[in-house]
Amino acid sequence: MPVIPGDISEVNANLIGLWLQLLATGAYIVYLPHCVIILTRKLRQGLSRWLPAACLLIFAATMLDVVTGLVMAYDAFAIQGNGEVPDPNVIYGNPSSKLSLMKNAMNVVVAILSDIIIVYRTYIVWNLSIWAILTPLGLLASDTALGIWAVWTLAQTTPGDDISAAVTLRVRYFFILTFVLNVLCSGMICFKIWRVQALFPREFSGGRSYTRRILEIIGQSAMIYCAHLLILIITNCLGTNYFFMFIVPLPPVAAYVFSMIIVRAQESICKRRMTAPPASLRFSSATSPQLPTEIALEDVSNTHDGDDPCAREARPSSDDH
């Protein structure tokens, strides 16, 4: 039953959340092929395999979470062979069941993997400075420990145990730390990219308006994911069942946002190289002050034509001669 007057029931919130999850999963799948093409191209250039591995884990966790949600919905509403009508409150009200534990574990796994990606993205944008990500690393370690602790606590409970207050508090702090981490990293990324872009006049940025440049910068950060986390924190603090409506689609939302970051980062690099002189999103690296560099998602590469993936695509291969 709803906890506060006028609140939605937990069962209805989970059901609406499942619909939103399916929509978010569809949006993620639309972006996925483009993301795979980009990562495959990067692998052929000899870059590290950690990012494709992280994206593969996010994909597996997201799909497993969707399947788990569909199975839970079937168990909650499907009439059994003997005509017995199920009670959805039993399915959705038992946080220690195997299906509930699976969904909670996937929420934590996807959130932690997303946090790792955004921290590394910050590390790359800030010119491989370990000092710039000391605070994000501390937040990452803290929210990882809290997430694992919350899932472990749920796994140790039995039906009837009153642990909701303790787990709710841990989940709240987990999302608060995740939110702070993503806001901090997104802010650092946006600041660095905007600062670099501001060094060049508009005609050297492909003629893009300030609004378009701002939207482009947001697309290369995790602002959408941060907004979703903020909604989770607010609904959790208010004690409303609307929290379940937004926690259910969290994995595909996170997967979509970080796939979009990969695609947008690569698209903006290639687009600027085709429409503007070699003075776009670049700055000199600390280790080689005179060598111009390009901020990609997973590496900092020099912008000489011989190392330009976009230029490589435009040039005919040696086999064509």
Rounded mean pLDDT, 303-309: 45
Confidence class for position 216, pLDDT limits 50, 70, 90: low
pLDDT at 168 over 80: no
Q: Tell me which range, 146-150, 179-183, 303-307, is most confidently predicted by mean pLDDT.
A: 179-183
State residue 303's pLDDT score: 43
Residue 218: pLDDT band (50, 70, 90) is: low
**What rounded mean pLDDT belongs to the chain?**
76
Does residue 313 surpass a pLDDT of 80? no
pLDDT at 72 (0 to 100): 92
Determine the pLDDT at residue 317.
43
- Comparing 41-45, 211-215, 253-257, which segment has the lowest mean pLDDT? 211-215
Q: What pLDDT is stored for residue 230 in this prediction?
A: 93
Higher pLDDT, 28 or 285: 28
| 195 pLDDT higher than 80 | no
Query: What is residue 279's predicted lDDT score, i.e. its pLDDT?
Result: 37
What are φ and ψ of residue 209, in 5° steps?
-75, 165
pLDDT at site 144: 92
pTM of full prediction above 0.85: no
Question: Which whole number is the average pLDDT over 25-46?
Answer: 86
Left, alpha or beta for 206 (phi > 0: left; psi -120 to 50: alpha)? left
Most confident of 61-65, 76-80, 92-96, 214-218: 61-65
| Strands 292-295 and 300-302, bridge-based pairing | antiparallel
Long-range contacts, 175-180 (Cβ 8 Å, 24+):
175/229, 175/232, 175/233, 175/236, 176/233, 177/139, 177/142, 177/143, 177/146, 178/111, 178/115, 178/143, 178/229, 179/226, 179/229, 179/230, 179/233, 180/139
Position 75 pLDDT exceeds 70: yes
pLDDT given for residue 13 in this prediction:
92
More confident residue, 232 or 215: 232
Q: Which regions of the chain does DSSP assign to beta strands (E)?
A: 282-284, 292-295, 300-302
Give the model's confidence band at 166: pLDDT under 50 very low, under 70 low, under 90 confident, else very high.
Answer: low
pLDDT of residue 206: 52
How many Cβ atoms from other residues are within 10 Å of residue 56's Cβ?
13
Across the range 291-310, mean pLDDT stands at 44
Number of neighbouring beta carbons within 10 Å of residue 184 = 18
pLDDT in tens, 115-156: 988 898 888 888 888 888 899 999 999 999 998 988 888 777
CA 179 → CA 10, 61, 172, distances in Å? 24, 20, 10
- Residue % of the chain over a pLDDT of 90: 27
Note the pLDDT of residue 299. Answer: 47
Residue 249: the pLDDT is 94
The 3-state DSSP class for residue 133 equals helix
